[in-house]
Chain A
Amino acid sequence: MAEKPPPKPISPQDWESLVEDFQHGDSRREKWRSLSPSVVELALSSILKKEFPFKIPLIIFLEEFSDLLFPPNSLSSLLERLVETLRVLVQSPIDGIHVTYALKEQMMVSMTSILISTNAVESVEARLTESVVELLLVVINRPNHGPDRHARAIACECLRELEKAYPCLLSDIAGHLWSLCQSERTHASQSYILLFTTVIHSIVNRKLNVSVLNTSVPLVPFNIPQWVSGSEKEGLLELNYKELRRAMAFLLEWPQVLTPCGMMVFMGMIMPLAVDLDLQPSMLKVQFFWMIYSFDPLLYHVVLIMYSRFSEAFNDQETEIVGRLLLFSLELQQYLVFRLLSVHWLMGFLNGLMVNGEDAEKKKSVVETGFRLYPSVFDPLSLKTLKLDLLAFCSVCIDSLKPQTVSDMIVGDGNSVVKLFQDGLVSVSAFKWMPPWSTETAVAFHTFHKFLIGASSHSDDDPSTTTALMESAIFNHLKGMLVDLILEFQRLVPVIVAFIDRLLGCQKHLWLGERLLQTIDANLHPRVVIDYRLVSYFPIFDRIAENQTIPPRRLLELLTKFMAFLVEKHGPGTGVKSWSRGSKVLGICRTMLTHHQSSRLFLGLSRLLAFTCLYFPDLEVRDHARIYLRMLICVPGMKLRGMLNLGEQLLGISPSSHSGSFFSAPSPRHYPDVKKSKNISSYIHLERMTPLLVKQSWSLSLLPLGVGSGKPDFSGGFKDTEATTDERDLDANIQFQTISEDERIDKPEAPLYVMDSKVSEILEILRRHFSCIPDFKHMPGLKVNIPCYLRFESETFNHVWGGESSKNGLHGVDALPAIYATVLNFSSLAQYGSIPSCHIPFLLGQPPMSGYLPGETDSLDIIAKHDDSGEEEIYKAPVMIELEPREPTPGVVDVFIETNGEDGQIITGQLQSIMVGIEDLFLKAIAPPDIREDVLPDYYSNLFNALWDACGTTSNTGRETFPLKNGKGFAAVNGTRSVKLLEIPTDSLIHATERYLIPFVVSVSGERLVNMVKDRGIITDIIWKDDDSGLLLDSITSVTSQDTTPLYLTFVDNEDEQESRLNISKRSMGCIHVLIFLPPKFHLLFQMEVSDASTLVRIRTDHWPCLAYIDDYLEALFLS
């Protein structure tokens, strides 16, 4: 140590502070280490000074810190000086001022203590110890000498300590000691007796064959016998029993001269001696049993120890001992701690009795005395506690002793344990109305616990069965009592919750806590009053919600009722109250979500949450309820629990604060990882539910159409006229016009034409039809839905994103990665309007093909939830792409994804695009809302005819405009015709039609065909025309209206198919008429003339570009 050594202590004050430094420890002690000459040397010289008032404390100081002050290297010399000092002090005459007996005594004591603690006998020359022993022997060798009697007593104690430290040290001179002991008559005799007893004790203990009567070895000079330091075993020698028993008999004569403390020391040696010397234990009993009537706790305890050693000798005294212990605890004059101790002794005593004894009757009678120990009013609470423990203990003991046949426990004077419990509890019954933190409450619940767990211990091999405990009267009483307490004293709820928590936290008694919760759940709900005070039960509801052994149905019902109550009571003054209560209810819902399988909760909880979403007055609560509801529906159990439990512990969720903490949970901020997101389209797939018939690869040529603007693009070779142009009959292009507000005033709504009734009928039908078509420029247009699935491959996903759940050793569904809050954005170059994005809250990854075994784990909830759609469905999220086409053209929809991985990574990227085919745009024509269901087929049939006519090349309706729905826009029909011959047999045609075109078939004509189709029973609700008139009618219609050319002439126009014309018409079995509506307002009509080997499809449309795709479509449809 570099520090300068402190100055040498000289004055008493210096020494005092030095002593304090040593006692304080740490650095304050350390600094004195370097003192030179050493502290001991300085101290000894101070002690030898004549006038030094701090001598005794200094000696004690040397003793107390001897292990520090006497280092081994200088031990010998220091001890030598010490012994010298002792000799000087002991031999100097008493002057009453500087040299007192107290000083001499202290020096002897401390010297002895230092010798022992430094183990001087072995570490330095034995001569030092011998000289000290000699000095002490000289002191004690003056029995009955008056003035120094107390010093002699102290010297005896010093010798005794040495003898204890080095057994048999004094055995050679035992004879001298005995005679000194016999002759000493002053109060110091206790020390002589104890010294002699100690010597005898170590002789017997070491089985040393020495004579305790022999005084041949002189007292001084003293030599350490070789067996003290020597390692040789003397134990083989025979004890001199006769002499030793004589010595014992002498010692047993004098118990009454000992102080209680002395008696304790004495008995501590006498008891093993009695065993070793084969003394009758009953002799000890006669000699010492009286001590149990003393009010000294030490003597009491000595008797108890004696009993535990020689219980057979006290065979009939158990009742008396127990009785005495009981009374001891009643003695108001005793210090409280001894009264408490006595109850403990009693329990320990009875425990020993229960474990060891055999006689059940005796045990019973002894234990029953314990029932006398009821708490009394003025007993301190700690004593009441222990007395109640004792009652519980005794009742358990009696219970274990009772014959197996007795059903209920009978104790004492016929009282049941329940009565015992109730009576005992009266002393702390104030817990019912006192605040929950009161000590009475703590004591009462402590007692509940003791009575409840009663006989069952925590050891694994405990045989007590749970059923026995469950059926016990006390358990049944207690659980009833707890329910009553909860109902009557709501302030106790937190205490009861803590009580149940304590049981729940214990592996062995978990089931007890659960059973209590179950009882509360079963009994509380019917009895509880639904009002604002229900909130005070929430802590217990929270526990019930947490517990999986309790079906959540009842609680959910109650909470739903409570929510209804809150909604009902809501008024201007209850805003915050509603919010706080509502949030708390949701807190419990959340607890349920985190602890139960969703399927158990689903019905009740979704009802509760839905109710809350709809009716709860507070917005935040509604919001949270909605989120929970969404989660409940979308997210499977384990993931849900993981989400809800983010960063929180399960227990101790404070209901009111949870929602905030969840939604604003500080999670590490993640930025989209561009690199990782690159190839996501290879493992995240958005796929059409029904594949397209036509792989429209060439439709890409249409892409420039209307890119990003409302203006038509003429570059593509299509002439899509601007709506405002008036050149209606410029070509066969469809035209639609929008008439601006001012123009409309000038223009008549429907231009006047002269026409026959047939035309007007057609016009009538068309007007009616068009008036049902919404005009997308002024109102939401018609929507086309393309159903798709989103799915992703777990393996690849985990590979890229390192899904954590795969590492956690979870199995089954829980091991799969998931993506959260997925947003799909769509864009298209085709004129599909704006496509709304799609939100998928949760999606599980597809398991690797081999690994997953469905139903293996707790995916029960998931299966239950999706039982109608098959398990595979849980890995696919349905996505509906909603198009609002401006043009009925196929196209490509680009898909962009933005989603979150489990660790919160943001995943963005483009997925593979979705093709939109022409068939996606097929819709059924809109039926006017006022039309009756049964005439609908007729309507469609008429509409077909009208449109067929209107789309004819020389239609009379060509100049007609038809107002669209809401009257702002108009449409005109400019038809185009086409024809397609399909060389397929009738069967396949009908089959394909039934499969793909069923909604659009409006009529079937021709007897053979009708019979054929009708029998299959798939196409229904259409017009059936048994004769060929359908075909004829069509011809006639067209003829009568405008075109008088015979039917076959029409085909002549179409040169490609000229050669087959006759065949077809001849072998025609009939016609199928198909009416397809193409949004936003166009039509596609098929008249399929069916014959055995081929079918001629006549096509008419008012949107000629679509013909470009129809050919491929029909081929794909029928010929593939």
Chain B
Amino acid sequence: MAGDCSIRAIWILNNLDAVVFSRRFPVVEKRWRAACQSENESSEDGAVKYTVFSSLPSDSELAAAFSDRKMREGSVRGFGIRVSQSKEGSDSWVDDPITRHIVGFYINREEEGETNLMWPLALHIKGPYCILILPLVEPRHVKAYTRLCKRSDCGNAVTVDESLSSLLLDLPSITGAFMVAHAIGDIVTGDVADPEVVVSQSPSVGGLLDSLTGSIGISGISRAKPVAAPVASSAPSGATAIGALAPDVPKSGSRLLDKDALRSFISSAMPFGTPLDLSYSNIFSIKANGFSSLDIPPQDLKQPAWKPYLYKGKQRLLFTIHETLHAAMYDRDEIPDSLSVSGQINCRAELEGLPDVSFPLTGVSTSKIETLSFHPCAQVPERNVDKQTLMFSPPLGNFVLMRYQATCGLGPPVKGFYQLSMVSEDEGAFLFKLRLMEGYKSPLTMEFCNLTMPFPRRRILSLDGTPSIGTVSNAEHSVEWKIITSGRGLSGKSIEASFPGTVRFAPLQTQRSTSFSSVHEGATDDDSDNEPENANNMVNIEEFLEEKMNKDLPPVDLEEPFSWLAYNYAKASFKIVGASLSGISIDPKSVSIYPTVKAPVEISSQVTSGDYILWNTLGKCPSAVNAKV
């Protein structure tokens, strides 16, 4: 049944490769077996009799297959693209990075021959857990994939009839499986935060539960406080990306799996394996609260499935425009700086009944918004209209109304350069010259601004130098410069900040981490042969150092944009409130509600920094060419 999504089984493994939770759906499994049977019957008269692995493995078999794949593919996720270690029949042989997410297992590898491939498994790693979802596909899809991963030639050309792309396009169940995987991932790690909505009185307001229960939390549901980074966790968060190696193995954690919560979520979200609703807040509210006879359905309208409860109480409407600014600042002639905004409008509609809310989006045309996408509750306006009016029927609680990507309407809030030059093997001289909030007018206020220079592979011994403004501190592997501390916001004017200094490191230890060189053996050849000559040919200390440092540079995961460890850079983190940088805004007066009620509308906006990187002007830096369309 194309266009449908059913799950055959769910497994959750911990970081010891043991299955800690599993759930099988016999109804879906029955359909799979029937499909296999009819496939076999239909292909019986054909020349090729082809069977697919037709039964579900037990937990122990799955765990064995999981470790088997991990061994074969080098890591939990695998190589992704075909490398010299890839073996025919394994995922990386397909040579597509998505095979780090959509994986195949060989069950009971020794016992059976060719027919033991179980595919596709949606792999989602969250916290210490690996979540594996096996959606229902047709046996012919599995066969098609088997052909892809067992092809003996040099790899897929881009235009062929049978490609992974066409397969994925045909299989919404894989998409569904990932939706389920992420929902379950959030539950097992307790990471079920609502989008942040800021109001003037209190820093933030809670989600659906709060709107049902006031401010009293309900016990029994594990629910984290709304965290500071409301942008979905897929956004590259600087904290994990910078500094440390981000290995794609599950992080260790001692938190025990809340099996009951998981079980009840699964039972409600997909009682028979077919997902019906993946909104954990709705499901938990229903589980926790149930319904009483006081919950009266609306008179004329059908209450949407995504809004099981109707709000009662004081009415108001809150919007928060939240933007994240990503920047790569090069300060070079040949590479232009790049500045991009990813934003979203979070909303909280405390309105009774099932009203429609509409408002015109202003600034959409001027702010060069690249993409707009909306919550399913929204009626989508026509594109290319200068003044877009957005109409939506709000669900309960905090939700993301729309998302957009835009270019920054104003200049970079932190502008300038960072130069670092190694004067000796263990000493670097650096210079910052920055201009903050240039061209930014009130009410735009920079609440704080920090600059971090990470040196993940060097140990800092000492730091000399005084900045023209702010304070400096250093940890073992990073230097932090607090330019504007919170409480002393910068508004209505721009400031200059400079920071010359030197940083001294502990002598470089060339330890070869065997973990990756063993995986990538063969790539390292004849170091002993070439070393002395290299040293002689080296023109200056920087190149020598670079060569030396690069020797034990581990490969990064495909989920990283580049090898952070290979570059010298400073990362700015700041928060700007008062308006959006993209220029998008909502006029409170033009927000209309139908049926008309009197409800105050509050709008706030904040801009935080995402990857805001000042590359060392004197060193190497990653870059990309922008599309010219």
Q: With A and B bound together, what is the CA distance between A334 and B61 in angstroms?
A: 33
* A308 close to chain B: CB less than 8 A: yes
Query: Using a CB-CB cutoff of 8 Å, which residues 255-279 of chain A contact chain B?
Result: 256-265, 267-268, 271
**Size of the chain B interface, CB-CB below 8 angstroms:** 160
- Listed from nearest, the 9 A-B pairs whose CB atoms lie closest are A25-B58, A348-B169, A382-B97, A437-B520, A506-B154, A327-B371, A190-B305, A268-B3, A348-B165
Q: Is A503 a contact partner of B556 (Cβ separation < 8 A)?
A: no
Q: With A and B bound together, what is the CA distance between A25 and B59 in angstroms?
A: 7
Q: Is B169 a contact partner of A332 (Cβ separation < 8 A)?
A: no
Q: Which residue from A56, A332, A423, A457 sits with its C-beta under 8 Å from B625?
A: A423
Hey, which chain A residues are within 8 Å of B523, CB to CB? Answer: 435-437, 494-495
Query: Using a CB-CB cutoff of 8 Å, which residues 571-591 of chain A contact chain B?
Result: 577, 580
Q: Which residue from B57, B271, B279 sits with its C-beta under 8 Å from A109?
A: B271
Q: Is A453 a contact partner of B627 (Cβ separation < 8 A)?
A: no
Listed by A's residue number, 19 A-B pairs whose Cβ atoms lie within 8 Å are A102-B264, A117-B30, A119-B30, A148-B291, A154-B271, A259-B278, A261-B274, A262-B276, A264-B172, A298-B172, A327-B370, A340-B101, A341-B178, A344-B168, A374-B627, A397-B159, A435-B550, A458-B151, A536-B526
* A101 close to chain B: CB less than 8 A: yes
Query: Using a CB-CB cutoff of 8 Å, which residues 365-416 of chain B contact chain A?
Result: 370-380, 383, 393, 400, 402-403, 405
Q: Is A187 a contact partner of B305 (Cβ separation < 8 A)?
A: yes
Chain A 332-351: CB-based contact to B (< 8 A → 1; otherwise 0): 11111111110011111101
Q: Is A382 a contact partner of B83 (Cβ separation < 8 A)?
A: no
Stretch among B210-218, B455-463, B472-480, B559-567 lining the A interface: B559-567
Contact A23:B59 (CB < 8 A) given known A102-B264, A437-B555: yes
Contact A427:B163 (CB < 8 A) given known A109-B272, A185-B298, A327-B373: no
Contact A344:B405 (CB < 8 A) given known A423-B625, A427-B625: no
Hey, which chain A residues are within 8 Å of B465, CB to CB? Answer: none
Hey, which chain A residues are within 8 Å of B625, CB to CB? Answer: 374, 423-424, 426-427
Q: Is B562 a contact partner of A381 (Cβ separation < 8 A)?
A: yes
Q: Which residue from A254, A449, A507 sits with its C-beta under 8 Å from B155?
A: A449
* B91 close to chain A: CB less than 8 A: no
Hey, which chain B residues are within 8 Å of A338, CB to CB? Answer: 175, 178
Query: Using a CB-CB cutoff of 8 Å, which residues 263-292 of chain B contact chain A?
Result: 263-264, 267-269, 271-272, 274-279, 286-287, 290-292
* A57 close to chain B: CB less than 8 A: yes
Min CB gap B426→A, angstroms? 22
Q: Which residue from B95, B98, B372, B525 sits with its C-beta under 8 Å from A337?
A: B98
Q: Is A355 a contact partner of B161 (Cβ separation < 8 A)?
A: yes
Q: Which residue from A147, A302, A330, A436 sits with its C-beta under 8 Å from B371?
A: A330
Query: Using a CB-CB cutoff of 8 Å, which residues 43-92 of chain A contact chain B?
Result: 56-57, 60, 63-64, 66-67
Hey, which chain A residues are within 8 Å of B19, CB to CB? Answer: 23-24
Hey, which chain B residues are within 8 Å of A506, CB to CB? Answer: 152-155
Chain B 338-370: CB-based contact to A (< 8 A → 1; otherwise 0): 101010100000000000000000000000001
Q: Which residue from B158, B344, B383 sits with its C-beta under 8 Å from A396?
A: B158
**Chain B residue, CB-CB nearest to A145:** B293
Interface centre among A260, A330, A369, A426 (most CB of B within 10 A): A260
* B488 close to chain A: CB less than 8 A: no
4 other contacts beyond A25-B59, A102-B287, A494-B522, with CB at 8 A cut-off? A261-B269, A346-B165, A376-B626, A438-B555
**Size of the chain A interface, CB-CB below 8 angstroms:** 170
* B614 close to chain A: CB less than 8 A: no
Hey, which chain A residues are within 8 Å of B304, CB to CB? Answer: 187, 190, 256-259
Q: Is B97 a contact partner of A458 (Cβ separation < 8 A)?
A: no
Q: Which residue from B2, B260, B272, B556 sits with its C-beta under 8 Å from A157?
A: B272
Q: Is B100 a contact partner of A261 (Cβ separation < 8 A)?
A: no
Q: Which residue from A113, A302, A443 sits with its C-beta under 8 Å from B172?
A: A302
Q: Which residue from A24, A67, A146 sits with its C-beta under 8 Å from B293?
A: A146
Contact A64:B277 (CB < 8 A) given known A332-B326, A434-B566, A506-B154: no
Q: Is A335 a contact partner of B182 (Cβ separation < 8 A)?
A: yes
Hey, which chain A residues are within 8 Å of B60, CB to CB? Answer: 24-26
* A15 close to chain B: CB less than 8 A: no
* B454 close to chain A: CB less than 8 A: no
Q: With A and B bound together, what is the CA distance between A433 and B620 in angstroms?
A: 10
Hey, which chain A residues are within 8 Å of B546, CB to CB? Answer: 433
Q: Which residue from A63, A119, A335 sits with its C-beta under 8 Å from B232?
A: A335
Q: With A and B bound together, what is the CA distance between A157 and B290 in angstroms?
A: 18
Q: Which residue from B176, B291, B530 sits with its C-beta under 8 Å from A264?
A: B176
Q: Is A446 a contact partner of B30 (Cβ separation < 8 A)?
A: no
Q: With A and B bound together, what is the CA distance between A187 and B298 in angstroms?
A: 10
Q: Which residue from A297, A344, A396 sits with its C-beta under 8 Å from B179?
A: A297
Hey, which chain B residues are within 8 Å of A339, CB to CB? Answer: 234
Hey, which chain A residues are within 8 Å of B155, CB to CB? Answer: 449, 453, 502, 506
Chain A 978-998: CB-based contact to B (< 8 A → 1; otherwise 0): 000000000000000000000
Stretch among B20-28, B197-205, B497-505, B572-580 lining the A interface: B20-28
Q: Which residue from B95, B268, B272 sits with its C-beta under 8 Å from A113?
A: B272
Chain A 789-816: CB-based contact to B (< 8 A → 1; otherwise 0): 0000000000000000000000000000
Q: With A and B bound together, what is the CA distance between A807 and B292 in angstroms?
A: 89
Q: With A and B bound together, what is the CA distance between A26 and B60 in angstroms?
A: 8
Q: With A and B bound together, what is the CA distance between A305 and B588 in angstroms?
A: 39
* A454 close to chain B: CB less than 8 A: yes
Q: Is B26 a contact partner of A256 (Cβ separation < 8 A)?
A: no
Q: Is B293 a contact partner of A498 (Cβ separation < 8 A)?
A: no
Hey, which chain B residues are within 8 Å of A333, CB to CB? Answer: 231-232, 234-235, 342, 344, 400, 403
Query: Using a CB-CB cutoff of 8 Å, which residues 4-33 of chain B contact chain A?
Result: 4-5, 19, 22-27, 29-30
Query: Using a CB-CB cutoff of 8 Å, which residues 105-127 of chain A contact chain B?
Result: 105-106, 109, 112-114, 116-117, 119
Q: Is A502 a contact partner of B154 (Cβ separation < 8 A)?
A: yes
Chain A 192-217: CB-based contact to B (< 8 A → 1; otherwise 0): 00000000000000000000000000
Stretch among A385-393, A940-948, A1099-1107 lining the B interface: A385-393
Q: Is A161 a contact partner of B272 (Cβ separation < 8 A)?
A: yes
Stretch among A286-294, A693-701, A904-912 lining the B interface: A286-294
* B624 close to chain A: CB less than 8 A: yes
* B252 close to chain A: CB less than 8 A: no
Interface centre among A106, A113, A295 (most CB of B within 10 A): A295
Q: Is A295 a contact partner of B58 (Cβ separation < 8 A)?
A: no
* A354 close to chain B: CB less than 8 A: yes
**Chain A residue, CB-CB nearest to B393:** A256
**Chain A residue, CB-CB nearest to B153:** A506
Q: Which residue from B158, B170, B263, B290 sits with its C-beta under 8 Å from A455?
A: B158
**Chain B residue, CB-CB nearest to A201:** B1
Hey, which chain B residues are within 8 Å of A379, CB to CB? Answer: 561, 624
Q: Which residue from B30, B302, B370, B380 sits with its C-beta under 8 Å from A257?
A: B302
Q: Is A116 a contact partner of B30 (Cβ separation < 8 A)?
A: yes
Q: Is B164 a contact partner of A457 (Cβ separation < 8 A)?
A: no
**Chain B residue, CB-CB nearest to A415:** B628
* A543 close to chain B: CB less than 8 A: no
Q: Is A331 a contact partner of B403 (Cβ separation < 8 A)?
A: yes
Chain B 137-176: CB-based contact to A (< 8 A → 1; otherwise 0): 0000000000000011111011111011111111010111
Q: Is B292 a contact partner of A147 (Cβ separation < 8 A)?
A: yes
* B434 close to chain A: CB less than 8 A: no
Hey, which chain A residues are within 8 Å of B169, CB to CB? Answer: 304, 308, 344-345, 348-349, 352
* B482 close to chain A: CB less than 8 A: no
Q: Is A262 a contact partner of B550 (Cβ separation < 8 A)?
A: no
Hey, which chain B residues are within 8 Å of A436, CB to CB? Answer: 520, 523-524
* B80 close to chain A: CB less than 8 A: yes
Hey, which chain B residues are within 8 Å of A260, CB to CB? Answer: 179, 278, 376
Query: Using a CB-CB cutoff of 8 Å, which residues 406-422 of chain A contact chain B?
Result: 412-413, 415
Hey, which chain A residues are within 8 Å of B27, CB to CB? Answer: 112-113, 116-117, 161, 165
* B82 close to chain A: CB less than 8 A: yes
Hey, which chain B residues are within 8 Å of A256, CB to CB? Answer: 304, 377, 393
Interface centre among B24, B393, B522, B558 (most CB of A within 10 A): B558
